[in-house]
């Protein structure tokens, strides 16, 4: 407090000048039309600019919440769409956010911010928008670990077009947006740009989800089958908000197929 | 005259003259504004503390504003001038400093000192006042021209007035 008084005593002339000048200029500005108009205009400009900036900040703050709400709404609408298109409502779709992800390794993975308490379970499919992106392989109370399509240690059941031949989709570990569809019969009819869809056989995804499309490069023939190059639809570099597909009758189907002790292609 | 009353008279008389006679005196189409009340400000004793100089300046300016309905312009300008009074006094101080009996007049400090101090302070006052009055960048050069012209002509007027007053005192 004493320092404050010392400071005021030291600069009392400057402070007195500022106070008296403030009074004089306020009086001047309020009593003269032109300066008053200029002042009002300037003040309105400052106030407008400040309000705009503040509004932008507030919008940015709300954006995350808005994204979550939109994601949940998207998931709900997609589930309804599946039910309408396929005539059943056995596929439930939820939403989650990717909080950790790799795309430069041979065994890439991602971690979601939802777990057992949110209804996430092992074997559920992960969608980016309407594109198949991966599956859940491990779940804790609050988090889930998943493998993306771009993982060399896993194969995915896929078909070309809605009624085309089924093959194994495998990432070769090179380009992040490329994979190869193996075991396609030589007599299969397809052309570049044709959709590569989930077969639904593995139970991770409902059938008909887009995984990618047939690339321009010619398919390779290994003597028995064709290896078809595929451009993946999901963007694994920018993956953040995802949807989780839960096929209700998956456990029942798995139980039946386990009697045969074989996995679907 | 009593030396204790003289400083107050030196401030009040120019102020009264400004309010009564010179408030509408703007000559040469605005190129010479006579701020006669500023003579009183110039004659505030050299030993007066800076804070008091500011308060007296503000008071003088406020009275002129109230009389002329100028709404703060003279008060603001007088305050600006008052802020620089101690600084200009210090810059123009003789090598050995001011004596306790020194007065800010020609008789006491000489014509050169009086003219330099008067012109500098009036120029600061007028530059501030005309700039605020113009309030527009496209008028500011003309405003500064008027300010410097007014400062020069008013300095000459104040020199004349001081010569007249001093000669009368000498006669007395």
Among the partner residues B54, B73, B76, nearest to A16 by beta-carbon distance: B54
Classify each residue of A152-173 as buried b or exposed e, where b means 16 or more C-beta atoms within 10 Å of its C-beta: eebbbbbbbbeebbbbbbbbee
Domain residue limits, chain B: 6-171
User: What is the pLDDT at residue B167?
Assistant: 53
Give the tens place of pLDDT for each residue, A73-111. 887 787 777 777 766 667 778 888 888 888 888 888 999
CB contact under 8 A, B135 and A24: no
Residues of chain A with pLDDT under 70: 1, 33-40, 86-89, 251, 253-254, 257-265
Nearest Cα to Cα of residue A223 among A182, A170, A190, A165: A182
Q: Which residues of B touch A35 (CB under 8 A)?
A: 132, 135
User: What is the pLDDT at residue B55?
Assistant: 93
CB contact under 8 A, B71 and A35: no
Please state the domain count of chain A: 1
**In sequence order, what are the beta bridge partners of A111?**
A100, A145
User: What is the pLDDT at residue A103?
Assistant: 84
Are the C-beta atoms of residues A150 and A132 closer than 8 Å to each other? no
Among the partner residues A13, A17, A31, nearest to B71 by beta-carbon distance: A31
Query: Rounded to whole angstroms, how far apart are CA atoms A218 and A75?
Result: 36
- Which residues constitute the domain of residue A246? 91-258
Residues of chain B with pLDDT under 70: 1-3, 24, 167-172
Q: And the tokens for A2?
A: 């004493």
Say which CATH number the domain at A125 has: 2.40.10.340
Q: Is A59 inside a domain boundary?
A: no
User: What is the pLDDT at residue A36?
Assistant: 65
CB contact under 8 A, B51 and A16: yes
Q: Which residues of A touch B70 (CB under 8 A)?
A: 28
User: What is the pLDDT at residue A89?
Assistant: 64
Residue of B nearest to A36 (CA): B135
Q: Is A15 inside a domain boundary?
A: no
Residue of B nearest to A14 (CA): B83
Query: Rounded to whole angstroms, how far apart are CA atoms A17 and B58?
Result: 9
Query: Rounded to whole angstroms, how far apart are CA atoms B25 and A219?
Result: 100
- Cα B36 from chain centroid? 7
pTM metric for this prediction:
0.48
Q: Is A32 inside a domain boundary?
A: no
User: What is the pLDDT at residue A168?
Assistant: 93
Q: Which residues of B touch A17 (CB under 8 A)?
A: 54, 79, 83
CB contact under 8 A, B50 and A13: yes
Q: Is A86 inside a domain boundary?
A: no
């Amino acid at each position: 407090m004493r320092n404050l008084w010392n400071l005021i005593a030291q600069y009392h002339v400057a402070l007195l000048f500022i106070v008296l000048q403030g009074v004089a200029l306020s009086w001047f500005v309020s009593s003269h039309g032109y300066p008053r108009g200029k002042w009002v205009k300037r003040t309105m400009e400052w106030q407008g600019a400040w309000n705009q900036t503040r509004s932008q900040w507030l919008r940015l703050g709300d954006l995350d919440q808005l994204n979550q709400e939109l994601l949940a709404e998207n998931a709900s609408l997609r589930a309804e769409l599946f039910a309408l298109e396929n005539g059943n409502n056995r596929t439930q779709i939820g939403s989650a956010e990717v909080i950790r992800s790799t795309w430069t390794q041979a065994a890439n993975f991602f971690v979601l911010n939802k777990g057992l308490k949110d209804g996430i379970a092992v074997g559920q499919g992960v969608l980016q928008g309407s594109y198949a992106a991966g599956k859940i392989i491990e779940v804790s109370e609050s988090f889930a670990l998943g493998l993306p399509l771009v993982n060399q240690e896993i194969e995915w059941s896929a078909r070309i077009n809605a009624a085309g031949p089924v093959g194994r989709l495998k990432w070769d570990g090179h380009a992040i947006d490329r994979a190869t569809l193996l075991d396609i019969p030589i007599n299969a009819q397809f052309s570049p740009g044709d959709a590569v869809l989930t077969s639904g056989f593995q139970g991770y995804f409902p059938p008909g989800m887009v995984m990618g499309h047939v690339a321009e490069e010619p398919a390779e023939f290994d003597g028995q089958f064709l290896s078809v190059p595929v451009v993946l639809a999901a963007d694994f570099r920018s993956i953040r908000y995802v949807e989780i597909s839960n096929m209700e009758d998956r456990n029942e189907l798995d139980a039946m197929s386990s009697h045969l002790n074989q996995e679907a292609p | 005259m009593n030396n204790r009353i003289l400083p107050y008279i030196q401030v009040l008389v120019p102020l009264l003259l400004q309010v009564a006679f010179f408030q509408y005196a703007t000559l040469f189409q605005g190129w010479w504004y006579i701020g006669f009340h500023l003579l009183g400000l110039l004659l505030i004793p050299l030993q007066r503390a800076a804070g008091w100089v500011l308060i007296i300046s503000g008071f003088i300016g406020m009275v002129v504003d109230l009389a002329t309905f100028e709404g703060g312009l003279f008060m603001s300008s007088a305050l600006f001038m008052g802020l620089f009074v101690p600084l200009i006094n210090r810059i123009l101080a003789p090598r050995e400093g001011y004596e306790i009996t020194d007065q800010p007049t020609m008789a006491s400090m000489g014509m050169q000192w009086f003219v330099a101090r008067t012109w500098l302070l009036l120029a600061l006052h007028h530059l501030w006042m005309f700039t605020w009055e113009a309030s527009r960048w496209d008028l500011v050069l003309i405003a500064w021209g008027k300010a410097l012209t007014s400062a020069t002509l008013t300095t000459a007027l104040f020199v004349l007035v001081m010569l007249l007053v001093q000669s009368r005192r000498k006669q007395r």
